[in-house]
Amino acid sequence: MKDRSHDDAMADLFRDDPATAAATLDAILEDGDQGELLVTIRQMAKAFGGVPAVAKAADLNPTQLYRTLSEKGNPELRSLNAVLHAMGLRLAVQPISEAVPHV
């Protein structure tokens, strides 16, 4: 039996369980690790037909999207929203559970 790559296994998980995909992204956003966020979105893109298919659905350039979703990428909010929307997700803002003092 051939081993699957981690990216393939994660893509299957995200394809089969969108709630897990959303919870994973939410946890990464809470931690604030942009590199991890972009790698995970790239894994999710694989679950939705690959970066070229997601780029087409998001009306983005596939080559640019590969660069944007690299670990050192820096997506614009517009691009990030378009990619997430193409995968049936969206960004949301929630209050932090601990009260933040007003400045």
At 14-46, the pLDDT tens digits run 888 888 888 989 899 888 888 888 988 988 998
CA 96 to chain centroid: 21
Domain ranges of the chain: 6-86
- Tell me, what's the pLDDT at 34? 86
40 versus 103: the higher-pLDDT residue is 40
For position 71, what pLDDT does the model report? Answer: 79
Question: Are 52 and 24 contacting, i.e. CB atoms less than 8 angstroms apart?
Answer: no
Query: Any idea which residue has 């193409």 for tokens?
Result: 86
Looking at the predicted structure, is the pLDDT value of residue 1 above 60? no
Query: What is the reported pTM?
Result: 0.79
| Consecutive H or E run containing 25 | helix 18-31
The radius of gyration of the chain's CA atoms, rounded to the nearest angstrom, is 15
pLDDT at 83 over 80: yes
Please list, in sequence order, all residues whose beta carbon lies within 8 angstroms of the beta carbon of residue 39, skipping any fewer than 6 positions away.
69, 71
